[in-house]
Every structure is written in structure tokens, then in C-alpha cells.
């Protein structure tokens, strides 16, 4: 979890593509090392995806930027209006608008994989 927090920190001066590239290098190396373990990774993977959503929420900076990005990612206006823009980032990452915008399939399409996806391969 420490590595996830460090690699998905919104304080980094990396663009989103660089964040994803660094993450992929780390997680693929991690999986090559720990992949032989018979461990249920669903909980860790869900926590990791929430942390990724938190990072994007923070990187969108302001209410205006968050609304714009949610709209660009296909969230309807009704759901955007119900979003709590003043909630802390960890709570916001769990909001239905963030799950709609950055659902598991969208995260995979952007190259963000988690241990449970790697276990299937």
C-alpha cells in the first residue's frame, strides 16, 4: 500500500501518461516477483483503484476542473450535481460519479492495471 500511495501521489510533477507508465512498470515487476503466490488480491486491487481515483480527483484541482473532467468522461449532469466537491479526496474517490467516470474498464483502457487483473493473465 505504501508503494501505491507514493506512485499515485497527486503531488508529483508527472503528467498522467507518465504516472501510468511508472505504475505499469512497477506493477508488472511486482507481479513477476509475487505472481506465484496464491493470494486473494481483490481487496488490494479495489483499494488501489480507489487510490487512483483519489489521485485524479486531486489533480483536477478545482470544482470547475472536476466538473469539466467528469463531463469529458461521460458522467451525466444530474450525477455531477449530486457530487460533493468539498468532500475530501478519499471520500470523493468512492462517489458514484467517480466510479462512472473512471470505472474499472476505463482504468484498464488507460493502461492502469491492478493485481487482480494480472492474476487472470
Mean per-residue pLDDT over the chain, rounded: 85
Q: How far apart are the C-alpha atoms of 12 and 59, rounded to whole Å? A: 10
Across 38-66, average pLDDT: 87
- Per residue in 18-30, pLDDT (tens digit) is 888 888 888 888 7
- On the 0-12 / 13-18 / 19+ scale of CB atoms within 10 A, 48 is buried
- Per the structure block, which three cell numbers stand in for 6? 507514493
How far is 111 from 23, CA to CA, in rounded Å? Answer: 9
Let me know: does 108 contact 117? Beta carbons within 8 Å: yes
Cell representation of residue 32: 513477476
Residue 7 has pLDDT above 80, yes or no: yes
User: Is 24 in contact with 32 (CB distance < 8 Å)?
Assistant: no
For the chain, the residue count is 121
pTM: 0.75
Inter-residue contact 52 to 112 (CB < 8 Å): yes
Looking at residues 89-107, what average pLDDT do you find?
A: 92
Amino acid at each position: 500500500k505504501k508503494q501505491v500511495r507514493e506512485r499515485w501521489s497527486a503531488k508529483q510533477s508527472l503528467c498522467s501518461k507518465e504516472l501510468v507508465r511508472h505504475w505499469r512498470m512497477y506493477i508488472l515487476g511486482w507481479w513477476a516477483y509475487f505472481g506465484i503466490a496464491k493470494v486473494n488480491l481483490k481487496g488490494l486491487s479495489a483499494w488501489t483503484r480507489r487510490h487512483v481515483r483519489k489521485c485524479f480527483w486531486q489533480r483536477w484541482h478545482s470544482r470547475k476542473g472536476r466538473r469539466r473532467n467528469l463531463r469529458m468522461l461521460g458522467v451525466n449532469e444530474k450525477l455531477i450535481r449530486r457530487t460533493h466537491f468539498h468532500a475530501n479526496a478519499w471520500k470523493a474517490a468512492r462517489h458514484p460519479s467517480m466510479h462512472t467516470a473512471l470505472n474499472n474498464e476505463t482504468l484498464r483502457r488507460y493502461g492502469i492495471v491492478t493485481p487482480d487483473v494480472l492474476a487472470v493473465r
